[in-house]
Amino acid sequence: MYQWDFSILWDYRWIFLQGLGVTVSFTLAIIAGGLVVGLAAAIGLLSRFAVLRGVSLGFIEIFRCTPVLVQLIWCYYALPMLAGVEMTPVTASLLALSCYGGAFYAEIIRGGIVSIDAGQSEAASALGMTPALAMRRIILPQALRRMVPPLMNQSILQFKNTSLVSVLAVPDLVYQGQMAAHDSFRPLETYTAVAAAYFAILFPLTLFVRWRERRSEET
Amino acid sequence: MTTSQTAMIDITGLRKSFGPLEVLKDINLQVKAGGVVALLGPSGSGKSTLLRCMNLLVVPDAGRIRVGDTTFQFGASTERPGTKPLAAFRSRTGMVFQNFNLFPHMTVLENVIEAPIHVRRLDRKTAIDLGMSQLEKVGLADRASQRPQTLSGGQKQRVAIARALAMEPSVMLFDEATSALDPELVGEVLQTMQQLAADGMTMVIVTHEIAFARDVADRVVFMRDGYVVEEGPAGEVINTPRMEATKTFLSHFHKGAI
């Protein structure tokens, strides 16, 4: 019988905390980056110019139909050769995960925007608003409310996806866990602790999103 | 007949098709300043499309539209106007919709001051004064801080009228403003419109309220199948129509009246 001994992990608490800090800040960064990318792609999808619609759709499908791990590796090893720029693992990870998240955010944002009654943009136009002003003041504020639960669901996935950056040696929670496991020869305890940390953060968030979804259905 | 010099709205040779369907066929129409014109006709006659052409919510295929001192020319050889000139043009015409189209994420007052602040670029204080005085005019100043969802249909439509008036437009367009209302709420909206007409506002009204058109409009334009069939002083067209199509359309109304 294996003798569990979690006390050994106490020596590594600062490494774990550092890793968790990197994971959380990475998540926040790729949620922000993903929302910017997603909003741009969604507006492209709704554009009256066929070229913009095509580019947006192409972008979205490329990132939805390839594995995110492959995108990470491609951004780090292949993109610098193509573009002729050096990229740190952090930059490559931020870029890949923001684009990946953005591709999914774009569909959510587009859906939210088209769900707003056409009369709203008609009324805004009739008052002399340009399409851009109407989008910013009238359509988006209403659409955002409807988008919140699905956007939060997608952001939870983004939190889990950050674990992949460990393959590029970004010192996130998983990477630090690997370090601790090698050092302590206690992989069972370390990886269990890592999994528990993800669960402890995500489970309450999932409950919160479910509660929000129920509430928005009621109103 | 009004002359084109004194007309507030002057429309010449207007055409519009949606795909293979020609909705407006060579429309010529003038509305004098301070005039109230009712557009009547069966559904599908093109009256709503014509109204929406007057503020270019629908961009015509051909013809010329002048409102005040702004003229737009349309045709295969002329470029479609850009979003900025279109928006500037629309800011000078007010439109009231069948379904109110109030902004649900704003209070009544915010609905009214939104465009004055962001389109006319008035400062907030001036806009609030203006907005409150418009709400006063439609009798809803006491609802300023409520959400539109808490109002009755008639109140919503009066807020929509105040919202359009806050842009201080030179023309007000009404697209079946009472069609979505419960019968007992129609009166308060018609009364507001009547007051507006008495104040000298230039108005074009698409409506099914024949009696209202007769009492408030000074001219009636009867449309069918994309043409103006008959046009004249309101009382004349409604009480003694000359054209067969107008007679048929009004026969229900006259039966009801007798």
Tens of pLDDT, residue by residue over A65-89, are: 999 999 999 999 998 888 888 889 9
Q: How far apart, in whole angstroms, are the C-alpha atoms of residue A204 and residue A194? A: 17
pLDDT given for residue A219 in this prediction: 55
Give the pLDDT of residue A180.
87
Nearest chain B CA: its distance from A128 CA (Å): 4
What is the C-alpha to C-alpha distance for residues B25 and B258, in angstroms, rounded to an integer? 35
Q: Which of B103, B111, B159, B179 to mutate to test the interface with A (most CBs of A within 10 A)?
A: B103
Q: Cα(B30)–Cα(B7) distance, rounded to whole angstroms?
A: 6
Please answer whether residues A151 and A105 qualify as being in contact, where contact means their C-beta atoms are separated by less than 8 angstroms.
Answer: yes
User: Which candidate from A119, A125, A145 shows the least CB-CB separation from B90?
Assistant: A125
List residues in chain B touching A: CB distance below 8 A. Answer: 55, 57, 83-84, 87-95, 97, 99, 101-105, 114-115, 118-120, 160, 163-164, 167
CB atoms within 10 A of CB B103: 22
Residue B106 is predicted with a pLDDT of 96
Contacts of B80 (CB under 8 A, 6+ apart): B59
Give the pLDDT confidence score for residue A23 in this predicted structure: 93
Pairwise CB contact (< 8 Å): B90 & A128: yes
Closest CA to B192 of B159, B235, B148: B159
pLDDT of res. B227: 94
Distance, in Å, from the CA atom of B50 to the CA atom of B25, rounded to the nearest integer, reads: 10
At position B62, the amino acid (one-letter code) is A
- Contact partners, residue A198, CB within 8 Å, separation at least 6: A159, A160, A163, A173
Chain A / chain B CB contacts < 8 angstroms: 65
Query: Among candidates A28, A19, A35, which has minimal Cα distance to A100?
Result: A35
What pLDDT sits at residue B218?
A: 93
Round to whole Å and give the CA distance between A133 and A123. 12
A148: which chain B residues are within 8 Å (Cβ-Cβ)?
none
Return the amino acid letter for A150.
Answer: P
Token output for B220:
């009636």
Q: Which residue has the tokens 């004055």?
A: B116
Considering only the beta carbons, identify the residue of B57, B83, B114 that sits closest to A130.
Answer: B83
Q: What residues of chain A score a pLDDT lower than 70?
A: 217-219
Q: Which residues of chain B have pLDDT under 70?
A: 1-5, 256-258
CB of A138 within 8 Å of any CB in chain B? yes
The CA R_g of chain B, rounded to the nearest whole Å, is 18
Helix axes A140-161, A187-218, angle to 10 degrees: 160
List CB contacts of A210: < 8 A, sequence separation 6 or more: none
Residues in chain B closer than 8 A to A138 (CB atoms): 103, 114
Q: Cα dist. B6→A89, B70, B135 in Å?
A: 71, 14, 31
Burial of A201 (0-12, 13-18, 19+ CB in 10 A): middle
- Model pLDDT, residue B257: 57
Question: By CA distance, what is A133's nearest residue in B?
Answer: B118
Which residues 6+ apart lie within 8 Å of B43 measured at CB? none
- Contact (CB<8Å) B115/A127: yes
| Interatomic CA distance for residues B119 and B108, integer angstroms | 18
A141 interaction partners in chain B (CB closer than 8 Å): 105
Inter-chain touch B103–A128, beta carbons under 8 Å:
no
Q: What CATH class is the domain A6-218? A: mainly alpha
Which of A119, A129, A141 has the CB atom closest to B101's CB atom? A119
Best residue of B118, B122, B157, B161 to probe chain A, by most A CBs closer than 10 Å: B118
C-alpha distance from A131 to closest chain B C-alpha (Å): 7
B83, B87, B103 member nearest A120 (Cβ): B103
Selection from A137, A148, A181 nearest residue B113 by Cα: A137
Whether residues A127 and B164 touch (CB distance < 8 A) is answered with: yes
Q: How far apart are CA B72 and CA B84, in angstroms?
A: 13
Whether residue A126 lies within 8 A of chain B, CB to CB, comes out as: yes
Contact B173, B95 (CB under 8 A): yes
Q: Do A128 and B92 touch (CB under 8 A)?
A: yes
Q: Which of A122, A123, A128 sits opposite B91 (nearest CB)?
A: A128
Residue numbers in A near B101 (CB within 8 A): 117, 119-120, 122-123
For residue A122, give the chain B residue with the closest CA: B57
Q: Are B232 and B49 in contact (CB under 8 A)?
A: no
Of the candidates B91, B97, B114, the beta carbon closest to that of A122 is on B97
Distance CA B168, CA B170 (A): 7
Distance CA B24, CA B212 (A): 25
Q: Report which residue type is found at A200.
A: A
Question: Which residues of chain B neighbour A128 with C-beta distances below 8 Å?
Answer: 87-92, 115, 119-120, 167
Scan for tokens 């309450």, then name that residue.
Answer: A204
ipTM topping 0.85: yes
For residue B228, the cross-strand partners are: B223
The whole-angstrom separation of Cα B135 and Cα B85 is 29
Backbone angles phi, psi at B75, to 5 degrees: 170, 170
CA atoms within 13 A on the CB side of A182: 5
User: Is A137 within 8 Å of B114 when comparing Cβ atoms?
Assistant: yes
The per-residue pLDDT for B1 is 45
- Provide the token pair at B191: 């009364």
